[in-house]
A and B are shown apart, each in its own frame.
Chain A
């Protein structure tokens, strides 16, 4: 049994004995207990198929837990009604490995799109989209199309889109998976800036170098279970030198 770390701020995410079992009987997640306080930066690591993506899908309520309770921003997700789902998702910024940009839209339209979906005014959209693009270092590229951009630039647009509605929680699923090491570091700098502004960041990743260098909280998953939760962790348990173990 793992004990969640002690933090002084209130939790943004709280898994309480959460299980996810698929209809074929596979347990994707088993008895997950995890608390993520506000402002935390957490790496979710583990081999492919370990359960990272299932955990992310539960966090954005693409799927419901089979057992246990999952709270995000104080909202219990199993009982969350469908009509309240949009409101819930507006509090989360999402970034994916494959960027998920709309190829027929310009950079500005891709970012503005998230605000249009919320019914914001043109003035607000122009202001917030401009600010988000500036944060990711893409000011001046508003009129470009995704296919005119490099992989790193495309991921920056995706981050700007996730940022534009000012979420309190940022979830990134393998955001550096399709990028070269130098670009991956640039993207990580953006995530650090976002986190420094008080936004909680949860990042599922395979990038050992980044996890080892950044020394942030690391939650390792194996066969659907949390096997390690280190406050200043590394990718593998074999590198424990500076890690502060909680258990």
Chain B
């Protein structure tokens, strides 16, 4: 019962102090919101880049092997079996010459061309999907050694593109982690100092609490609750602004750079909301906990 009353006091006191020190509270909300906007922007950009990279990764992780016209079907099945047995291969799909022609003809852009060609000049294909991009090179080498491969145009392997993409992906991951680390350190320092200023204004109150026999946690509790409250309000503010900007940004981007596979992702909005609210609450709590420590120690 006593614990419940003390919790109630912590919440009541936090709420009261938030409004009584409105100027300092607003300063704390604004500084946390700015940090969260930065963090949220980097999360959104990271997600957009991820979407683009995923789309390309999906495309290049499928290697198409052209089959020479005179290759016996038994040899194709045999090679298909060899490929399927490899651990790095996710799936293997054989496309016959007829299926390939049908697919080619179904594309409206090829209508004129299809009327001019006689017979079926398109080769049969084996589409191999690999788990990791760096495995594509190995499968390509294997395909080129196979007797049944079409020697004029063996595979659609895009070596340089994949290498560059892997490099870009690695650098983006490093940059993202670096930015996250810098933002985390900066935000904790800023929040801690803002909250320390708020705590400094109330050092007399803290001093008195200690002198009348309040425990460290009783003194610290309202500040930590207030920190969480400040963090959640700041996160809501940051989230509102980011969400207001997200869809127009994506639409503008698509209008300018239509060839990039970027789209508005409503599922990511939930993830972003969750991340920002948790980060805001955690930042507020941590900042308050550290900021108040020096004054609270008995």
Chain A contacts to B: CB under 8 angstroms: 60, 82-83, 85-90, 94, 100, 102, 104, 113-114, 116-121, 161, 165
Contact = CB atoms under 8 A, between A and B. Distances in A.
A165 B212 contact: yes
A108 to B, nearest CB: 14
Given A102-B205, A104-B20, A113-B208, A119 B9 contact: yes
Contact of B212 (A104, A114, A119, A121): A114
B2 A119 contact: yes
27 contacts: A60-B211, A82-B298, A85-B298, A86-B214, A86-B215, A86-B216, A86-B298, A88-B213, A89-B213, A94-B211, A94-B212, A100-B207, A100-B208, A102-B204, A102-B208, A104-B20, A114-B212, A117-B214, A117-B218, A118-B213, A119-B2, A119-B5, A119-B6, A119-B218, A120-B5, A161-B212, A165-B212
Contacts of A119: 2-3, 5-6, 9, 218
Interface in B8-66: 9, 20
A85 B6 CA distance: 18
Contacts, number: 54
B273 interface: no
Contact of A117 (B204, B207, B209): B209
A120 B212 CA distance: 13
A89 B5 contact: no
A128 B145 CA distance: 94
Interface of chain B: mostly helix, strand, loop or mixed: helix
A165 B209 CA distance: 13
Contacts of B216: 86
A167 B48 CA distance: 65
A86 B214 CA distance: 6
A117 B222 CA distance: 11
B5 A117 contact: no
A247 to B, nearest CB: 34
Interface string B244-286: 0000000000000000000000000000000000000000000
A73 B214 CA distance: 19
Interface in B191-215: 204-205, 207-215
A89 B9 contact: no
Per CB-CB distance, the 7 closest pairs between chain A and chain B, nearest first, are A90-B213, A117-B214, A119-B2, A89-B213, A114-B212, A86-B213, A119-B6
A90 B298 CA distance: 14
A27 B2 CA distance: 43
A22 B1 CA distance: 43
Nearest to A104: B20
Contacts of A161: 212
B46 to A, nearest CB: 44
A96 to B, nearest CB: 9
A6 B204 CA distance: 40
A89 B211 contact: yes
Contact of B213 (A100, A102, A117): A117
Contacts of B20: 104
B213 to A, nearest CB: 4
Of B6, B208, B209, chain A has the most CB atoms within 10 Å of the CB of B208
A113 B16 CA distance: 14
A118 B2 CA distance: 8
Contacts of B215: 83, 86
Nearest to A164: B212
Contacts of B214: 86, 117-118
A215 B41 CA distance: 74
Contacts of B211: 60, 89, 94
B149 to A, nearest CB: 77
A143 B187 CA distance: 41
A82 B211 CA distance: 13
